[in-house]
Structure 1
């Protein structure tokens, strides 16, 4: 489908790619990985034609179409509704719809036989391309990405960059290109939307290349990993977990081959040095010199598993309680986030605050930080020193400072050698420490800002989406730093691997309350799956005298009664929809008979009315069938939960 042959591309004198090769087949699901700055996004731009290669070529089959979701789309704005923007994907269908409207309008005043033929052809094509269901399809994808039905009619301009990116993703998915390229799609998605995209990709019929630092996302969506390293494209036939295992094996083999070759080179060089002055050995010496010149040198293995050896200390120990939130309420106008909720953070708590966007995670973080107005009481514990990291704080970095100067501004008494050590932990080595902030990429700025937070000697950290724009190596460094950190923290993140590695408690917002699961993310997922399967309410703290078995029986009986009520309602809904579908099909048959009568073509007004009615019936029938399928799926799930 698409072939990259001996690709070379330079930024100035620096080779991003040199004689790189890759072949993409239909239905390939490729995860493109590599450190920041190695050229992952550059490769996507080369494939899309935005950049031109300096050597080699990128060839594609004639029927190959390409869709590219890139970070530049964050700035796209429009006064059109998000539904209208998404439906721009149906370019041909939109053109045909306008053509149908034009012909019908013309036929109202100027009837011609040629128009009738043209109308029939256009309507046939429109129907074949799914024109009558395109709106419902667009609505389904937008709602899958987290928009409410009310949002669909709102102008795109009124949404933030992350939400605008979701609209552009929806538009791209509706286009169904044969090669779909996604650059960090999970940066702007919450957990439910990430899971929806995973399911969509798994069922996508075309090929996909996705750049992502989310290991769980890659494991759940791709069947091939392509690593960008050393200006080459190295392919691994499996998901990310397979890649990690396979690369470790390849590195072990390469390391052995490298060491053997180096031993042979040293032995040969000693022979040459020892006998180069002896005429009797001249032929053998020359032979060995030529063999060394012809030698295909094996590279040593680069250790990419960076280790954090710096100990992040703080001088002041806090008391037992870091913070108490008592009877806290928060609302924005009519939108209520919290209502009389309570929460406690104790020393040693490593809390991950998770959930869908719009539930108020960042608001809760600001409440804890004391930067958000609230009703209720926020009690900060004894000797608590906090430090807050959020994406907008990257803008507070002084762009004219060097990295060393910026860390010195963190207010610590650390020596320059210590600060260099910290920067080394965050992959800034050698002369990198004298780079100015203004020349850094987004990911590099994030690393600097995180380093400042971690050396601030705060004993309580608040981190809002700290892994955004970080590559996998940088995420691994942050995980190690937080695992070694002896203080407490609350982290908002949608990166499931990251959360599973750093949290010992999970917070989530439900029913306008902050609720807590006292365990790791992996344990929380298992509990949540069981909870949803049983349709049971969240566990509450039980009194010592309450028998556990009895409580479980009461919950089960309640859940069954509620499920049976829901089954009754769904059965009625299915029955009503079946009656509606039956009537719509009868109407459709009647209209087809009308349109099949040659006499109607002598009355342009009657023809236009019949055509309009026929289109309306088709749209209503498609929607009714879709509603019936959704109701049946929901009914089957509820019935399965009590069996």
Structure 2
């Protein structure tokens, strides 16, 4: 059991979060979500005891184990046990070893930051099963929506310095979020309608007051006095009604208009598009490194209209295949202009602003370019920030904006969701759904695959097979 009272965390001059009261049960399986920079990892560090620089009270009645990012001792146990990392394998192998040591104790409440890092789809699925079947609870931070949905029965959203609690899985959270949006929309419409009605009433009374006649010139003194007294009383009464009506307007609880982005279509000039059916083709493709065979007599073709997800286990050759396509080891249409995104590649000028990195290479005007940047989180004056002050996640978004607005007729993307928070991933999905050119991408994010891809290339046992449809449709058809 964890109990939090009046917890406030300040970083510099900024209050990162202020949580009045929060209780977490010993068996609660919690997914902690929120934009990058809202304090998710800091919150876990406070619960783990690694961060004691806060105001308020945090009471823990259970043994806690943790796996947190960006720590020299990445895997820790509050009970003073320490895991000494001795793995020199790949990042995926190191992550699996850390998780194995974390999960071996089924009695501890877990705090886990980005547990799916470096894991492929099957490894994530197995990890989700193990976490969900544990007797004790956990709080995990992840940007993998499908993983959260498979493991968590409660969602904490860290937003505007507060934690909003949703008592269900991620699908429940999405439904509730939509309900809250619809409710806010109705409340705003009701507010606007009532305010308009009251202002119309006040205006009508004002007009009525203005029509109160002045004393006619030929009227006698006594009659004039009576007329004036009656008119003044009537006008005074009307003016009082106007004032009371306007006070009712001011007393209305102000409602802000809920904001929802309109869909964006990223269209290219038809003359710039390729109208050939096949854009990329491989025939009897082979690849090996020393004695390790990656591909053996592989044949495949990528059509002009497809948004293709390239899938396979870690080490199966996904990035190798992308590099072979980029290096001309497969046939590509001679008019293909490939835009390439890689988390390792560097395409930014750190001495320039965000806008100056994107706009000179954009096929769109400044207005449209800034709309795309805004969707990725760079609104108003944010575009004038220097790139050298940005976080890794923000730099990734600038690189993606540069790719999406560039003069390319085909995109190749290697792990585009890495470093992105859920809001940015959803924004990227929407932009790619409105992108009118084909693309090929690698990711282990199941939700992203299902929301963007309309076909798959699957690498397995040194072969590549194609499938028309997304991963959910593939799993249903193959009863996975």
Is contact 2:4–2:23 with CA below 8 Å preserved after alignment? Answer: yes
From 64, 67, 77, the equivalent of 2:65 is: 67
Counterpart of 2:389 in structure 1 is: 439
Query: What residue ranges of structure 1 are gaps of 5+ in the alignment?
Result: 78-85, 95-137, 139-153, 372-376, 531-643
**How high is the TM-score relative to the length of structure 1?**
0.63
Q: Give 1:338 deviation, angstroms.
A: 0.7
Counterpart of 2:33 in structure 1 is: 33
Partner of 2:381, secondary structure, is helix
Counterpart of 1:334 in structure 2 is: 291
Partner of 1:72, secondary structure, is coil
Q: Give 1:199 deviation, angstroms.
A: 0.5
Counterpart of 2:313 in structure 1 is: 356
From 458, 476, 483, the equivalent of 2:408 is: 458
Is contact 2:265–2:434 with CA below 8 Å preserved after alignment? Answer: no
Counterpart of 1:209 in structure 2 is: 139
**Structure with greater strand percent:** 2
**2:154 aligned with 1:224, yes or no?**
yes
Per-residue CA deviation, residues 240-260 of structure 1 (Å, 9 max, x unaligned), is 111111222233334444555
Counterpart of 2:214 in structure 1 is: none
Distance 1:302 1:324, change over 3 A: same
Q: Give 1:24 deviation, angstroms.
A: 0.2
Per-residue CA deviation, residues 44-67 of structure 1 (Å, 9 max, x unaligned), is 122223334644322222xx1222
Per-residue CA deviation, residues 41-98 of structure 1 (Å, 9 max, x unaligned), is 222122223334644322222xx1222222215x779xxxxxxxx9x9899999xxxx
Q: Give 1:378 deviation, angstroms.
A: 1.8
Q: Give 1:404 deviation, angstroms.
A: 0.7
Is contact 1:90–1:175 with CA below 8 Å preserved after alignment? Answer: no
Is contact 1:348–1:487 with CA below 8 Å preserved after alignment? Answer: yes
**2:336 aligned with 1:384, yes or no?**
yes
Per-residue CA deviation, residues 502-527 of structure 1 (Å, 9 max, x unaligned), is 11211111221111122222221123
Query: What residue ranges of structure 2 are gaps of 5+ in the alignment?
Result: 210-234
Partner of 2:45, secondary structure, is helix
Distance 1:223 1:306, change over 3 A: same
Cα distance in structure 2, aligned partners of 1:443 and 1:490: 22
**2:404 aligned with 1:406, yes or no?**
no
Distance 1:333 1:437, change over 3 A: same
Counterpart of 2:229 in structure 1 is: none
**How high is the TM-score relative to the length of structure 2?**
0.82
Cα distance in structure 2, aligned partners of 1:267 and 1:55: 47
User: Where in structure 2 are the equivalents of 1:268-347 lying within 5 Å?
Assistant: 300=256, 302-303=258-259, 305-313=260-268, 316-318=272-274, 319-347=276-304
Counterpart of 2:226 in structure 1 is: none
Is contact 2:312–2:460 with CA below 8 Å preserved after alignment? Answer: no
**Structure with greater helix percent:** 1
- How many residues were matched structurally? 448
Distance 1:396 1:70, change over 3 A: farther
> In angstroms, what is the RMSD of aligned CA positions?
3.5
Counterpart of 2:111 in structure 1 is: 181
Q: Give 1:449 deviation, angstroms.
A: 0.9
Is contact 1:388–1:453 with CA below 8 Å preserved after alignment? Answer: yes
Is contact 2:107–2:135 with CA below 8 Å preserved after alignment? Answer: no
Cα distance in structure 2, aligned partners of 1:447 and 1:92: 39
**2:473 aligned with 1:523, yes or no?**
yes
Is contact 1:3–1:24 with CA below 8 Å preserved after alignment? Answer: yes
Q: Give 1:168 deviation, angstroms.
A: 2.1
Runs of 4+ in structure 1 over 6 Å off: 88-94, 262-271, 277-282, 288-293
